[in-house]
Structure 1
Amino acid sequence: MLFARSAHAALCGVLFLFAAAVQAQTAKLPNVTILATGGTIAGTGATSTTTVGYTAATVGVQSLIAAVPEITKVANVTGEQVFQIASENISDAQWLQLAKRVNLLLAQSSVDGIVITHGTDTLEETAYFLNLVVKSRKPVVVVGSMRPSTALSADGPINLYNAVRLAGTPEAAGRGVLVAMNDQIHAARDVTKANTTTADTFRTTELGMIGYIQGGKPFFYRDVTRNHTVDTEFDLAKLDTLPQVDVAYAYANVGDVAVNALVAAGAKGLVHAGVGNGSLPAKTKPALVAARAKGVIVVRASRVGQGIVARNGEANDDQLDFVVADTLSPQKARILLMLALTKTTSTKEIQRMFYTY
C-alpha cells in the first residue's frame, strides 16, 4: 500500500511538472488572432482537381485553423469570422469594419499580431487600405490562396502557417501591413496580383518583395520607406463612410462617356487610369477638366503597372489642378484618394499625400 501511494505521488509529480512545462511553453508563444473574411482560402470545389469554378468563402475560421494543427506549436491562435465573402464583393463599409476591429485588437496587450485571411481578387487593395489606417506597429499580415481548400496541393494551409509565423515574429513589427503568399513577403503598398490562377500570382515586379519565409522563418532583405500605419494622418475612429471615388480606364479611341457617367453618379474623386505615363486622350481630357471645374479631384495614374507618373509630364498638372499617382496603381490610388478626401479637398495637400504614402 505504501509503495502504491509513493508511485501515485511520483506520477502526480511528473504530470504536474509536465503540465507546468507545457504551460510555460505556451506562455512563451506569441498571441496571434486570425480574422477570416472568406475568399478562395475558405473555398471548396466539387472534386480534388477542381482549381477553377469552385465556390469561395464556404469554410469557417475554426475549420481553417483545425486544418493546420502545426500553427498551435508556433503561436497561441484565436480566430474570428469577421465576414464570409468572395473578395470581389468587398465594400467600403466592410473595410471600415475590418480596420476598426484590427485597431481594437492591436490595442490589447494580449494580442501580438493579426492575420487576415482574404480572397485574392482584391487582397492588395484591402492590404493597402489597412496599411494607411491601422494604428499599431504590431504585425498585420494578409494572406490568401489560389487553390480552394479541397484541391490537390492546396496552398492555403502553408500560406496560413507562414502568415501566423510572420505575424508572431518581432522582426515583422513596424514594417507596415504585409502580404504572405507563396513563401514570399510583400509590402502592401507595392504588391499586386499578376496572374489569374497560378500560385505565384502576388508579385512586386519592379521594386521587389521584402523577404522570404523559409522553414517557417521570415528573412527580410529590404525596408519599407513610405509612411504607413502609425505614421499616417488618417483616423477612422469617427468615420462611418468613405467618399465616392471611381476609376476611369483609358484605351485606344476612348471617349468621355465613363468620366461623365461617374461624375453624374456622384463621384467626389476620379482616378484616370491613363495609357503610358498617364496620358490624357483628346476625347477624354475635356470631360476631366469639366469634372475638376465641378470640384471633383482628378488623379492621373497609369494602367501600365510600373513606374512613376511624372507630374507635369504628359499633362500640365499645375495648370489643370490635377494630382499624379506617383507609383501607385489606379486601384490603390483610389484608396489613397478616398482617405485623402476625408481630410481635405486641397490638391496641393493631396499631392503631398501621394508623395508620402
Structure 2
Amino acid sequence: MNRKVLVTLAVLVVFLCSMQVAFAAEPSNNHLPNVKILATGGTIAGSGATSTTTVGYTAAVVPVDALINNVPELKKVANVSGEQIAQIASENMTNKVWLKLAKRINELLASDDVDGIVVTHGTDTIEETAYFLNLVVKSEKPVVIVGAMRPPTAMSADGPMNLYNAVVIAGTKEARNKGVLVCLNDAINGAREVTKTNTSLLDTFRAPELGYLGYMQGGKAYFYRESTRKHTTQSEFDITGLTDLPRVDIVYGYANNSRDGLDAFVAHGAKGIVHAGVGDGSLFTEVKQGLIDARKQGVLIVRSSRVGNGILARNGEANDDELDFVASDTLNPQKSRILLMLALTKTHDTKEIQRMFWEY
C-alpha cells in the first residue's frame, strides 16, 4: 500500500472519529418524555396593543406552534409537539369542543409514544373543562390544563412559565393517576376542587378549604395530597359514541326570585336543572314550586349552592327524598352541571345520579 493511500486512510479515520465525537456530544432527547400540547385558545394565546395591556386584549390569536417556539426551554424537559384543537376565548367553550378534545386526548394517550398531555385554555372556564376531562379521560397518564392571566405581549407575562411547568408535570411519573390537573402560578390543583377566585390576579386558581395538590419549584413538581373521588380510569362515563351532551342549565338563587328563567329553560328543552341556591341550597318559594313542576315533567333537579364551599346537606333545606331531587355534595353549580350532563347519558334514575354525586 503506497504512502498516498495510507495518508488518505488516516485522514478518513480521523474524520470518522471526529464525527463520532460530535454525535456523542449532541444531547440525546431519547430519554425525555413525549408530551403533546393541545391548544384551545384563551389568554395564553392572546395579544395586546402594548406591553402594559392586561385587559382589553384579544384572546386566542397565537397558534400552538408559536406558543411552543416562544418557550425554547421546553425542549430541555420534553419532546414536545402541538396540535390546534380550537382557537377560542374560553367563555365560548362548547360541549362539542369538549367532546372533540376529550376524544383526541384518549386517542393520543392510548399510544406508547405519548407520555402526557398539556391543554392550553382560557381561564374563564378552565375549571369546567378540567372537571369534564377528569370524568371522561381513560388513562392514568398525566393531563395538565394550563392558561394565563396575562397575554404573551404583556410585561411579565405569566403564560410562558405556566406552560413550561405544565409540560414538566405532564412528563413526570409522579403526576400519574392523580386525575386531571390545573397548573398556574406555580400551584398544582385538582380538577374537581379548583376554581377561579379572582377576576385578574395571577394566583386566582385555588381550591378553597381543601387546598392545592402540590407546588412547582425549581422545575420540579412536589405533590402533597390527592383527591379521593373517582376520576379518569375509575370513571363509568364513556363518550366514545357521543356527538353532544344533554342540555342542563343553571338557575341562580337570590332574594325576591322568580321562576320565569327556570320555566324558560324547561320550555326550551332542558333535561336537567342545577339550582345554585342561597346558603345550604335553600329554595325561594316560587322557584321551589317551579322545580317541583319541572321534576314532574321528567327534568332532573340538582340542588347546589352559590356559596362555593361546604357540603350541601341532602334533606337539609329541602326534602330531597320527597321531591326526588339530587344534592350536589361539594360540587359548585358549574361542575354539578357537568356531572349531571354525563349522568344523563347513562340513566334518569335519581338514586343512581345521587350515587354519582357522592362518588365523583
Relative to the length of structure 1, the TM-score reads 0.97
In the TM superposition, residue 5 of structure 1 has moved relative to its aligned partner by 6.0
Question: How far has the Cα of 1:338 moved from its partner?
Answer: 0.0
Superposition deviation, residue 72 in structure 1: 0.3
What is aligned with 1:19? 23
- Rounded Cα–Cα distance in structure 2 between residues aligned with 1:152 and 1:112: 33
2:299 equivalent to 1:296 = yes
Alpha-carbon separation, structure 2, partners of 1:4 and 1:197: 69
Say if 1:21 and 1:326 are closer, same or farther in 2 by CA, change over 3 A.
Answer: farther
> 1:170-228, CA deviations, whole angstroms, 9 ceiling, x for partnerless residues?
01000000001100100000000111011111001110010001011000000211000
Match of 1:263 in 2: 266
Mapping of 1:1-357 within 5 angstroms?
Answer: 6=10, 9-20=13-24, 22=26, 25-357=28-360
Question: 2:345 is aligned with what amino acid?
Answer: T
Choose 1 or 2 for highest CA Rg. 2
Q: Mark the runs of 5 or more structure 2 residues left unpaired by the alignment.
A: none
Cα distance in 2 for residues equivalent to 1:223 and 1:206: 14
Which residue identity does 1:99 align to in structure 2?
A
Change beyond 3 A, Cα 1:78–1:257: same
After superposition, give the CA deviation of every residue in 1:115-158 in whole Å (9 maximum; x if it has no partner).
00000000000000000000000000000000001000000000
Q: Matched residues in 2 for 1:265 and 1:340: separation?
A: 20
* Residue-pair matches, total: 356
* TM-superposed deviation, 1:15: 3.0
Residue 18 of structure 1: CA displacement? 3.7
For the aligned residues, what is the CA RMSD? 1.3
Q: 1: distance between equivalents of 2:149 and 2:339?
A: 27
User: 1:53-94 deviations in whole A, cap 9, x for unaligned?
Assistant: 000000000000000000101100010011100000011000
Letter in structure 2 aligned against 1:10:
V
SS for the counterpart of 2:346 is coil
The 4+ residue runs of structure 1 with deviation greater than 4 A are: 1-5
1:356 CA drift (Å): 0.4
Amino acid at match of 1:230: T
Which secondary structure does the structure 2 equivalent of 1:80 belong to?
Answer: strand
- State which drifts further: 1-10 or 56-65: 1-10
Q: Secondary structure at the match of 1:79?
A: strand
Amino acid at match of 1:141: V
Query: For the structure 1 residues 316 and 65, does the alpha-carbon distance in structure 2 shift closer, same or farther, using more than 3 Å as the test?
Result: same
Q: Distance in 2 between matches of 1:55 and 1:4?
A: 63
SS state at 2:182 partner = strand
Give 5+ residue unaligned stretches, structure 1.
Answer: none
Instruction: Tell me, in whole angstroms, the C-alpha distance in 2 between the residues paired with 1:22 and 1:180.
Output: 32
**Residues 21 and 111 of structure 1, relative CA distance in 2, 3 Å threshold:** farther
Q: Equivalent residue of 1:64, what SS?
A: helix
Cα shift at 1:21: 5.7
Instruction: Give the SS at the match of 2:117.
Output: strand
Whole-angstrom distance in 2 between the partners of 1:14 and 1:343: 65
